[in-house]
């Protein structure tokens, strides 16, 4: 446990644990309250109705802040490493940071605008969060390979690339299937025509969300 307290490693560690707790607690409360079907609700479905909406909003807002802090710290670490031993253009690192911060803003929008109250704003925030987040992981994976083997092990690079690839593969059907759903609602019947679109989109959404969590888990060693 002490290794998580070295250097700045507590930042990504706190982001991972807090975000995981946000998803799990909101899901459990929503299911126990009877507000969503236990089988594959959207993440946002678990934060739409009180009391879980308050929990979801508070915890996701803080996750967005922790995400921004983690990304900025990662930016400064890469910047310092690049100054010590040049391996990549600084613009690449900066673009990655900007996209990551835009994704965090998207998370804030998702947290503060419930999907049933203002669906257009909520969906726009979710799109920002997921698309910018996926591109951020791809860029960071490229930076990791460029800084290998001096600053990253090859196995870490492979893990990051694998997570990025899975997230990228999942985000496309997530958006495509979600756009084909004709109505926004919390409860689904398997006999409904849009049900399969909902299931595929929900699976992909949870995959991408936890992909981000596992990706930031790989930052812990770097931040020490």
**Which tokens is 11 given?**
């930042």
pLDDT at 27 over 90: yes
pLDDT digits (tens, 9 = 90+) for 87-131: 788 898 999 999 999 999 999 999 999 888 898 999 999 999 999
Distance of alpha carbon 186 from alpha carbon 36, whole angstroms: 6
Which pTM was predicted? 0.93
Distance of alpha carbon 56 from alpha carbon 8, whole angstroms: 26
pLDDT of residue 203: 96
pLDDT of residue 82: 87
| CA 176, 177, 181, 185 torsion-angle sign | negative
**Which tokens is 207 given?**
């995959």
Q: Give 98's Cβ-side CA count (13 Å radius).
A: 6
Share of the chain above pLDDT 90, in %: 72
Helix, strand or coil, per DSSP, at residue 190? coil
**Residue closest to 84 by CA, chosen among 147, 128, 29:** 147
Distance of alpha carbon 13 from alpha carbon 220, whole angstroms: 6
Cβ(122)–Cβ(103) under 8 Å?
A: no
Residue 5 binned pLDDT confidence (cut-offs 50, 70, 90): low
Distance of alpha carbon 65 from alpha carbon 103, whole angstroms: 11
pLDDT at 4 over 70: no
């Amino acid at each position: 446990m002490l290794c998580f307290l070295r250097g700045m490693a507590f930042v990504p560690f706190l982001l991972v644990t807090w975000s995981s707790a946000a998803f799990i607690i909101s899901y459990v409360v929503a299911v126990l309250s009877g507000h969503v079907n236990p089988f594959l609700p959207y993440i946002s479905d678990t934060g739409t109705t009180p009391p879980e909406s308050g929990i979801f909003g508070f915890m996701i807002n803080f996750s967005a802040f922790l995400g921004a802090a983690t990304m900025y710290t990662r930016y400064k670490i890469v910047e310092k490493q690049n100054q010590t031993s040049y391996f990549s253009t600084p613009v690449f690192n900066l673009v990655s940071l900007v996209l990551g911060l835009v994704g965090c803003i998207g998370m804030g929008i998702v947290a503060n605008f419930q999907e049933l109250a203002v669906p257009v704003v909520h969906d726009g925030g979710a799109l920002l969060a997921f698309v910018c987040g996926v591109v951020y992981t791809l860029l960071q994976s490229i930076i990791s390979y460029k800084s290998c083997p001096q600053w990253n092990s090859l196995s870490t690079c492979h893990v990051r690339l694998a997570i990025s690839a899975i997230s990228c593969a999942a985000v496309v059907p997530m958006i495509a299937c979600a756009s084909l759903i004709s109505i926004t609602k919390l409860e689904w019947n398997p006999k409904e025509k849009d049900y399969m679109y909902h299931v595929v989109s929900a699976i992909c959404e949870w995959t991408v969300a936890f992909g981000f969590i596992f990706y930031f888990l790989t930052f812990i060693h770097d931040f020490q």
